[in-house]
Amino acid sequence: MSERIPVKDVTPVKIHQPAEQESADASRKRIYVRAVQGPLETFRRYFGFFFLALFVALPWIRYDGHQAILLDIGEQRFTIFALTLWPQDLTILAWIFIIGAFALFFVTTFAGRVWCGFLCPQTTWTYMYVWFEEKIEGSRHQRMKLDARPLDFDKFWRKSLKHLCWLIIALLTALTFVGYFTPIDSLFIDFFTLQNSFWVGLWVWFFAFCTYGNAGWMREIMCTHICPYARFQSVMFDKDTFTVTYDEGRGEKRGPRGRKVSREALAAEGVGDCIDCNLCVQVCPTGIDIRNGLQYECINCGACVDACNGVMDKMGYPKGLISYTTEHKMKGGHTHIVRPKLVGYAVVLMVMIAFLALDLFTRVPLDVDIIRDRNQLYRETNDGLVENVYTLKILNKSQQDARYILSVEGLEGHRLTGNREFLVHGGEVYVEPISVAIDPYKLESSIVEIHIKVQSLDDEEVSVVAPTKFLYR
């Protein structure tokens, strides 16, 4: 027991790095995205601009005299063209969210994280901010030099103009987004004339701050650390999922070379097609090196594919050193497009769409809520009848005015007091107090279940029968 346990010094030893490598590591703290040209980049831009234009235009579209898309949380009413959704239609919203989730699973299983690279608002707005950055501050190397030098007038006005453009975009984005939840035609006027309410102004500035911070400052941090999609996307991947992949067998061993050196001579010396230009790293919005293999930070935008194909063209090499391919294809096998996992997602997606269509098809544009008088269960009238008082709330869930007629079923010989026919405007709640009275000798028990029916006079198929109780003693 007197023997001592030997202690081993595990203090880490700092290995000195050359100044060039240290500066390279330090530069990775701030990613300077290099501009790239190519078919994928062109497609991504037009694809993003299309949905950006759609995002801006949709709240301005008018339909049947009202804003086509208005998600009015205060009024608890979602208007989507001819469809109006109320809290009672929560199942429809649930189906929509479920369909969106399974559509994302299906696309991810087939083509990887293309949602992030081509359609995600974070990516679209980040590239938009980078475009303004390039136009004002210059190319990647010019921006790096601008940030490294002391503050002078040239640097000051460039930085100020850039952030001003960013703030304008952020404010317009926030106003457009809030315009989906409040009438947008008056939103812009009220905001710029300082006539808007406190809460509307608060949400506009909140979303403007988020847009400015996310697209201008956080950028890749949103994709690599905050967005949960990056963490669970690999669960949906398989060996037949199309992802941005570097052909290691063809590219290694990498290294610079002259254009006049033949590819065959280099291959004889064990040198691959990769010239180690690092352009694939410089154009990556998340700053990763795709040559290190598939990484969760990769958003499948294809910028490295365009950059590498451009280099291959200049060198006279075949394209595709970096490409959208599958693990099976990379190992010399065949890609299986139709496979159980993908088919399973497709089947579930179709089933969910069918449920949504069924819910919409069977939806009755009418809702009736019955509230009993809470002051007393019943009362006796002067002519000896037993009377119950109810308050009806009739919701016209359509966008057109409708006429309804009221009747009571299950209580023979009753007397109904109140309006039997009434008009309810589209998207409004009509409140009607009624009373039902009957001779107590006609009651078989002290509690009788009755049904109040509201029938549309404009459409025979639209009716609601709501159950309630008639009480006596």
Hunting for tokens 């009747």 — which residue is that? 407
In degrees rounded to 5, what are phi and psi of residue 267?
-65, -35
In degrees rounded to 5, what are phi and psi of residue 386?
-95, 130
Alpha helices per DSSP H over 112-152: 114, 121-137, 140-148
- pLDDT digit string, tens, across residues 216-262: 999 999 988 888 887 787 788 889 999 999 999 999 999 898 888 88
pLDDT score of 27 more than 90: no
pLDDT score of 403 more than 50: yes
Alpha helices per DSSP H over 138-259: 140-148, 153-178, 184-192, 198-213, 220-221, 229-232, 248-251
pLDDT of residue 4: 53
- pLDDT digit string, tens, across residues 145-185: 999 999 999 999 999 999 999 999 999 999 999 999 999 99
435: enclosing H helix or E strand: strand 429-438
Amino acid sitting at position 344: G
pLDDT band at 5 (very low <50, low <70, confident <90, very high): very low
Write out the two tokens for 239. 């060996």
Distance CA 129, CA 121 (A): 12
Hunting for tokens 């909140």 — which residue is that? 206
DSSP-derived pairing of the beta strands 243-246 and 402-409: unpaired
Amino acid sitting at position 303: A
- pLDDT digit string, tens, across residues 99-139: 999 999 999 999 998 999 999 999 999 999 999 999 999 99
CATH 3.40.630.10 fits 366-471, yes or no: no
In order, the DSSP letters of 238-284 are -TT--EEEE-HHHHPSP----TTS-HHHHHHTT--S-----HHHHT-
**Strand, helix or coil at 448?**
strand
66: enclosing H helix or E strand: strand 66-67
pLDDT score of 395 more than 60: yes
390: enclosing H helix or E strand: strand 386-396
Residue 439 makes CB contacts below 8 A (sequence gap 6+) with 384, 385, 386, 413
DSSP character at residue 306: H
Q: What ranges do the domains of the chain cover? A: 28-60+112-235, 238-330, 366-471
Hunting for tokens 């947008």 — which residue is that? 184
393: enclosing H helix or E strand: strand 386-396
DSSP character at residue 225: I
Residue 371 makes CB contacts below 8 A (sequence gap 6+) with 390, 391, 392, 393
Nearest CA to 302 among 31, 42, 32, 122? 42
- Looking from the CA of 428 toward its CB, the CA atoms found within 13 Å total 12
